[in-house]
Amino acid sequence: MLQVDLTFVVVFILVWILVVVLGRVFFKPYLDIREKRRKILEENEKTYKQAMREYESHLEQIETSLKEARLEAQLLREKVITEALQEKTRLVSEIQTEVKGQVAAARDELNLQTEKLKTELGQKVEELARQLEEKILH
C-alpha cells in the first residue's frame, strides 16, 4: 500500500504551485494571444465578406450601367440610321423632282426647236418650190 508521508504532500503542493505559475506565466498569455488572434481572424473574415458583398454590388451596378449604355447606343444607332434613310429618301425625291423638271424643260425646248425647224423647213420648202416653179415655168 501507499503511504502518504510529508514528501508526497510537498510534491503535491509543488506540482500545484507549478500548475498555477505556469498557468499565469505561460498558458494564460498564450491563450490570450490565441484568443486575440482568433478575434482578429474573425474580424478580418467579416471585413473580407463585407468587401466581397460591396464588390459584387459594385460589379452588378457596373454591369447594369453597361447594359443601359449598350441599349442607349443601339437606340441611338437605330435613330441615326432611320434619320439617314429619311434624308436619303428626301434627297432622292428632290433630285427626281428636279430631274423631271429639267427633262420637261428640255422636252419643251426640244418641241419648240422642232416646231421652229418645221416652220423653217416649211418656209424653205415653199421657197424651193417657188424657185423650182420659176425655173420650170421660165
pLDDT category at 136 given cuts 50, 70, 90 is: confident
What's the rounded Cα separation, in Å, for the pair 48 and 42?
Answer: 10
- Three cell numbers written together for 19: 500548475
- Give the pLDDT confidence score for residue 23 in this predicted structure: 87
Candidates 123, 124, 104; CA nearest to 112 is 104
pLDDT digits (tens, 9 = 90+) for 75-128: 999 999 999 999 999 999 999 999 999 999 999 999 999 999 989 888 888 888
**Backbone phi, then psi, for 136, in 5-degree steps?**
-70, -40
- Give the pLDDT confidence score for residue 53 in this predicted structure: 97
What's the rounded Cα separation, in Å, for the pair 90 and 39?
Answer: 75
**Backbone phi, then psi, for 113, in 5-degree steps?**
-65, -40
**Number of CB atoms found within 10 A of residue 59's CB:** 10
Amino acid code (one letter) for 58? H
The average confidence (pLDDT) of the chain is: 92
The stretches of the chain forming alpha helices (DSSP H) are 6-22, 28-137
pLDDT digits (tens, 9 = 90+) for 15-62: 999 999 988 998 899 999 999 999 999 999 999 999 999 999 999 999
